[in-house]
Structure 1
Amino acid sequence: MQSAERANHSASEISAQAHAPASLATMAMAAIGVVYGDIGTSPLYTLKEVFSGPHAVPVTPENVYGILSLVFWALMLVVSAKYVIFITRADNRGEGGIMALTSLALRVVPEGRSAWLLSSLGVFGAALFYGDGMITPAISVLSAVEGLEVATPAFQPYVLPIAGTVLVGLFMMQRHGTNRVGAIFGPVMVCWFVLLAVLGISGIRLHPEILGALNPVWALRFFANNPLIGWLALGAVVLAITGGEALYADMGHFGRRPIKLAWFTVVFPALYLNYLGQGALILDHADNIRNPFYMLVPDELVYPMVGMATLATIIASQAVISGAFSLTRQAMQLGYSPRMHTIFTSEREMGQIYVPGINWMLLGAVIALVVGFRSSSALASAYGIAVTMTMMIDTLLAFVVIRGLWNWGLGKAALFLAVFLTVDLAFFSATTVKIIAGGWFPLLIGGIIFTLLTTWKRGRGLVNARIRIDTMPLDMFIRSMFTSPPPRVQGTSVFMTTWLDGVPRALLHNLVHNKVLHERVVLVKAETADVSRVPERDRVKVEELDYGFYRVRVTFGFTDDPDIPAALELCRAQGLPIELMETSFFLGRETIVSRTSRSLPRWREKLFMFMFRNAGSAADYFHLPPNRVVELGTQVEL
């Protein structure tokens, strides 16, 4: 699923394992627990949807072989070749994910329409994550709990309440963090993949000849004999690769080698063995299409398997939830989202965060999906279209990177684009038939989130431009201090600003009302680089000016914690020691008012003003000590 950005993000689940030195095998196990939860639970519903979904493929030996061949080559081309072999090489200082890929692509295009288009593609791909991220917990947990119906139909009335209870419990635990349970994710998912392989082998024993489905001729023959059915079947086959993009998104926390090792030695073999086992079971008896995964399980082990599947889907859902938190934080850092209340749930791991507003929004949407669609089969109609759109965006951005940064020749880069974009378009076109049945939901959510993100980015740009126009140049202000010097008081005043060459409005208001200046006046600008993390040696740049003034530029990566007091401690090495207990932090609190001549459409201006009024505190966002903060109000015309 979109783990879009689940990356920078979902590795929060594994606690210290992701950052401490570890063996390749240990890192690979940790990656299995975080990266592959989503794609690892796909066997619960993929073949069931192919053969009994809205566009069910008739159960014949040729069709079963054809579908299994399609699944294998989809996993090979999209996951193994595109993501594991190629795109994981496009790291932004070790980080992956659509935000990192967008940053890389923007380095090789000039400012203008091309840069705007690439940036918009990246933001839209990130926005789609929220829509698909609501579906993943719902469909995963529902498909696991539905195994109870296989054991006995008497459980049917209780499937929705049980699934709802599991999901509510999952979201309720978010405020406590996942560092305590994160360490078990890897071993649990390894056990899950071992069970998938064992069940698959037990099914293959019924029809060992099913191994011949690896031959691509079966897939080609299936399309040749059933062109329309084959095309529609791709809309269900795509469920087998949802979550494949997560291995790139989470690369920064594990590295390319552990993710590659885990995929080729454990995840891929286990997944496909299970698909082959389900296919053999369907060949043995066509009635098994009602739930081929659980029909593989011996009767006496159905209940334990339901429990194990539920645990695996919880782990997969946890990665998506943590990804939503981290993606929101990245959006705040990059200026696409207003500040939101964020809680750090671990003292050791900065990636372990909790965003209450996003958590409750996701819970409400997930419960609404479960109640509204009522089954995993119905939810499958809403699943896939956002994933395929994100995969297309990844392919386009990767093409720009390999052409511009890797310096591939035009022919070689065009071949990359032609092969993978053709595959992406095939899957995307097949999922468009799901739009009316439920595919509209992730598109609607993605569209809404995209509108919010771009509105905030545009609105903040206009506000900053307006402030800059009305701001006195700093050098002029300092020169005026020599002719009419105000009284100076002991201590340090820190003024947060977006423009280091101008005088912050808060400074002028303080001077007008209090008639004094501190003996040291520090102007601080916090900015976000196009890399995920900035090392401490590059964090701050101090410039000493006349009359006790200093300019400090603080640079964070888009996954760094924007801790201004911690950054100011680094100024000591550059000749500016700052004692926090003797420092006052001054912030400007703007009030936006509308002008007669608008810079934004009326609806968008109203939306931005609503978001602006409800944005979180800058003091909280930058971790400023509450008892040292002074806020001064000002009006800005939009």
Structure 2
Amino acid sequence: MKEAFSPGHGITFSEGSIIGVVSLLFWAIVLVVAVKYVLFVMRADNNGEGGALALMVLSLRNVRRGGRFAQTLVMLGLFGACMFYGDAVITPAMSVMSAVEGLKIAAPQLGGYVLPITLVVLILLFWLQKRGTESVGRLFGPVMLLWFITLAVLGVYHIIASPIIIEAVNPIHAIRFISRHALQAYIVLGSVFLVLTGAEALYADMGHFGARPIRIGWYAIVMPALVLNYFGQGALLIRDPTAIQNPFFLMAPDWATLPLVLLATAAAVIASQAVISGAFSLTSQAIQLGYVPRMKIQHTSASAIGQIYIPLVNWLLLAIIVCIVLGFKSSDNLAAAYGIAVTTTMVITTMLVGVVMLRVWKWKKRLVIPIIALFMVIDLAFFGANLIKIEEGGWLPLGVGAGLFFLLTTWSKGRQIVKQRTAVDGIALQPFLKSLLAHPPHRVSGTAIYLTGSESLVPVSLLHNLKHNKILHERTIFMTFLTRDVPYIDDAKRFQVKSFDGGLFLVKAVYGFNETPDVDGVLDYLGREHDMAFELMDTSFFLARETVVPTQLPGMSVWRERVFAWMHQNAAKPTDFFSIPANRVVELGTKIEI
């Protein structure tokens, strides 16, 4: 509300304009969140999972892979995911800073401490990530329930004092406001959009809670509380235009302002936690789908599979957020940067949902076209209004998203090239094993496990071991991990074991894109179902340590190949990613020219 009436917009402060802006806020919430996301987009779940990557994979379900249309869908999904990261660096900074700024109202003498307090809260929040959110999560529900009740109570109090604000329910006031103010109203849409910035995260977090609880929570608690509070802010401004300096905190009586600041800060921390957890989940999905290098992933809960912690992502986010807070210094300045990342993701979500409606749900075009057209008109209107703010700060999330998009596409393309080069120089596994058994090398006791990315080619590490050591263990297992385009795989369908003569086995372990491969889980299965006992001190894991060398060969430009080589070199070691004891690993180097 404060940003909508920013002096730079040139909107005349009057009862009509206040009712018009509140009407815009109300109908934005109804059409974008209540109708588009909660009713339609949340139907587009991939086995219960939501978010840009899950939606991208779902949209590809009935599309020919490798074609131009499929490539376009992949690019859209990846860019949408990257823009979520752009939002993830803005949301904690904006949410916490705007909450702490309530101190300027509650205790003006502490106004100079807003920036330091914001930084302390943010640093503490990211430092606590490694401890996991399971125990803290028990507090989230009650705190957020108190938050929304407080929003509703404050709103009702002021609505009773100025009931005329209820007229904002009529969309005529929003239309009249737009027609009267034309260009200024279009600019104001960029501020109105600030009420919608959590909608994409609502969809992305669907896998953690399920669609039904989110719908009940939205329609029964969140939406009524938000609407009542925005109407209450409008009612306050009608009676006291000077409250525009911070209408939310000025809704409370003087004695309640400081408690409200503390509650708002707690709510902002919880909102930031949701975005940070979403960034961890999205990164994990991208790793499994092959768009991000391997990173060390720590599971912070024995019971909740989605609760993970990725140290590199955590500290990078914190570093960028601290720079943002120090650079922008206030939520007013940051508001210009806030929103454009989400509007971009929303436009992409609408496009992908349209594909899902037509290709996956098989809805009729005469039904899909009007629905998608309505959503696209709304999304593009907000997108255009936010584009105006690029120079004032909107460049920041766009820059973060574009940089990540370049890295993700470079990694994906580089992996394809590496696979092609490996396949050209590779040796078929089964004929090789037959010849190996016909002319066996020296056999030694123990178990050798060769981790390989291909079930049909001989692992390079085995070739090097035979070449240099001229031995073969009495039990040799070729273990490969595959990722499917669904979030989770049923345990009954996870493992496939093929036995060859001479103590040779091929083991395939299949995981969903929301799961982390688990070597211990594979060994437990083999011991339980195939009577294979593993003595860890008698088991060796053989890995190929690939060194990527950029060349003038066809594929990517050399400078992009150098970027890929750098990413490849700095990816997490397989021992860390697969949780293999480091003292049981033998790494054998190989060079791949790309």
Partner of 1:91: 45
- CA positional deviation for 1:48: 0.7
Among 355, 372, 386, which residue is 1:417 paired with?
372
Q: Match of 1:51, SS?
A: coil
Among 571, 582, 594, which residue is 1:626 paired with?
582
Among 535, 538, 561, which residue is 1:605 paired with?
561
- CA positional deviation for 1:282: 0.6
- CA positional deviation for 1:475: 2.4
Q: TM-score scaled to structure 2, two decimals?
A: 0.97
Closer, same or farther in 2 for the Cα pair 1:147/1:97, shift >3 Å? same
AA matched with 2:15 = P
Residue 583 in structure 1 maps to residue 544 in structure 2: no
Moved more, 489-498 or 65-74: 489-498
Query: How far apart in 2 are the matches of 1:174 and 1:430?
Result: 35
Closer, same or farther in 2 for the Cα pair 1:448/1:142, shift >3 Å? same
- CA positional deviation for 1:459: 0.8
AA matched with 1:606 = R
Partner of 1:32: none
Partner of 2:201: 246
Partner of 2:21: 67
Partner of 1:212: 167
Query: How far apart in 1 are the matches of 2:531 and 2:170?
Result: 68
Partner of 1:235: 190
Contact kept? 2:527, 2:534, Cα under 8 Å: no
Residue 266 in structure 1 maps to residue 242 in structure 2: no
Contact kept? 2:550, 2:558, Cα under 8 Å: no
Partner of 2:56: 102
Closer, same or farther in 2 for the Cα pair 1:295/1:592, shift >3 Å? same
Q: Match of 2:9, SS?
A: coil
AA matched with 2:262 = G
Partner of 1:18: none
Query: How far apart in 1 are the matches of 2:454 and 2:495?
Result: 16
Partner of 1:79: 33
Structure 1: which 5+ runs fail to align?
A: 1-46
- CA positional deviation for 1:628: 2.2
Partner of 2:149: 194
Contact kept? 1:202, 1:277, Cα under 8 Å: yes
RMSD, aligned α-carbons: 1.5
Contact kept? 2:552, 2:558, Cα under 8 Å: no
- CA positional deviation for 1:546: 3.6
Query: How far apart in 2 are the matches of 1:572 and 1:482?
Result: 25
- CA positional deviation for 1:492: 2.4
Query: How far apart in 2 are the matches of 1:214 and 1:614?
Result: 55
Query: How far apart in 1 are the matches of 2:107 and 2:525?
Result: 64
Deviations 1:568-598 (A, max 9, x none): 3224566462525243211100111222335
**How is 1:169-568 mapped onto 2 (pairs within 5 angstroms)?**
169-568=124-523
Deviations 1:486-540 (A, max 9, x none): 1222332211111111111100111112211112222121111111111211111
Query: How far apart in 2 are the matches of 1:453 and 1:485?
Result: 44
Moved more, 268-277 or 495-504: 495-504
Query: How far apart in 2 are the matches of 1:329 and 1:265?
Result: 32
Query: How far apart in 2 are the matches of 1:197 and 1:262?
Result: 14
Q: Match of 2:5, SS?
A: helix
- CA positional deviation for 1:615: 0.9
- CA positional deviation for 1:554: 1.1
Contact kept? 1:52, 1:290, Cα under 8 Å: no
Q: Match of 2:272, SS?
A: helix
Matched-pair identity in %: 49
Query: How far apart in 1 are the matches of 2:386 and 2:8?
Result: 12
Deviations 1:603-636 (A, max 9, x none): 2111111111111111111122323221111111
The structure, 1 or 2, with the larger RCO (C-alpha pairs under 8 Å, 6+ apart) is 1
Q: Match of 1:635, SS?
A: strand
Query: How far apart in 2 are the matches of 1:345 and 1:555?
Result: 23
Partner of 1:44: none
AA matched with 2:172 = V
Query: How far apart in 2 are the matches of 1:458 and 1:630?
Result: 28
Q: Match of 1:205, SS?
A: helix
Query: May I ask how many residue pairs the two structures share in their alignment?
Result: 592
Partner of 1:9: none
Query: How far apart in 2 are the matches of 1:594 and 1:372?
Result: 38
Query: How far apart in 1 are the matches of 2:7 and 2:383?
Result: 18
